[in-house]
Structure formats: structure tokens, C-alpha cells
Amino acid sequence: MEHALYRLLDEQRIPYQRFEHPPVYTCEEAARLIPDLPGAECKNLFLCDAKGRRHFLVAAPADAGVDIKALGEALEAKGLRFASPERLKKYLGLAPGSVTLLAAVNDRDHQVEVVVDAALWAREAILCHPLVNTATLSVPVEGLARLLAHTGHAPRVIAVPRRD
């Protein structure tokens, strides 16, 4: 899976820098275990609505406390909640701790909507796991935009609501 991602990035001529590190499961662990890398740190959430009909891959700045209820209202998704590990595996082919914008490559049936915070999308590059949590890629936002367009997942760029 990870090797196929690198092939796709290379085929699409999307530049990236790769950094290996111990497994990380949270933004706090990443901040502690990973040196400063060139790009914006982000948190990635895999969410679904109350009925499990709509699924969302959401990227926000790592230090943002996301207001999931307000986000659900902004996306017109009632009862927005974290999706189960089983849904994460089914829709994005990932294990918990590996959620990443790059996982859109695994959603061939276009069941997942991609949402990116506007402040994050305005950065030069974003740090993303390459489908595993033992490495991080620094990918230019322009490259991410091209990759997401290639997979049919043009991101919905919004100001992701924050918790106070």
C-alpha cells in the first residue's frame, strides 16, 4: 500500500520529502518524537454522520481543538462523530493512528468527502503520514491539490470550527 502511494506520487510528479520515525498515534506524540519538519503539522479526523451514510476525512492544524458539533452543522451532517476503526479500514484501508489526507488514494468508490481547514490549506506544505504512522511526508499544498484532484477528491476548504 505504502509503495503504491510512492509510485503514484512519482507518476504524478508530486514532490515530497520523507522522514522516518518511531510509530506515533497522536499529535502530541508526533510533536515529542519527530524533529521540526518543513511543513504544517496537522491532525486528521475520520468522521461519519449519525446514520453512517456520509464519511469525512478532515484535516486541521495540529493545535486546533475541532468543534465536531459545529463542523457537522457546517457540513450539513447530523450527529457527526468519530467513525469506528472498522469503518476506517473499510473506507480508507487504514489502521487507527495512520489517518492522513493521502488516504484518499484508497477511496476508489468516492465514499469519503475530504475537508481541509482554510488556514492549513494556505500553508506552503503539509505534513502527512504515507498511510503508515512510522513516517511523515512533507508535501507541497499544490501537490496535494493535484493528488486529490487525480483521485476525484477535490477538498472542501473551510474554516474548520474550533472549540473554545
The helix (run of H) or strand (run of E) holding residue 139 is: strand 135-140
User: What SS3 state is found at 103?
Assistant: helix
pLDDT tens digits, 49-102: 999 999 999 999 998 999 999 999 999 999 999 999 999 999 999 988 889 999
User: For residues 151 and 35, which has the higher predicted lDDT (pLDDT)?
Assistant: 151
The answer to whether the CB of 45 falls within 8 A of the CB of 82 is yes
Res 88: pLDDT: 96
Res 81: pLDDT: 97
What does the buried/exposed string (b/e) look like for 61-72 if buried means 16 or more CB atoms within 10 Å of the residue's CB? bbebebebeebb
| CA-to-CA dists, residue 148 to 22, 104, 142, angstroms | 27, 7, 10
The mean pLDDT value of the chain amounts to 92
Q: Any alpha helices (H) in 14-79, and if so which ranges?
A: 27-33, 68-74
- Cβ partners under 8 Å of residue 66, min gap 6: 43, 45, 58, 60, 160, 161, 162, 163
Question: Is the pTM for the entire model greater than 0.85?
Answer: yes
The answer to whether the CB of 33 falls within 8 A of the CB of 24 is yes
Res 110: pLDDT: 97
Res 33: pLDDT: 67
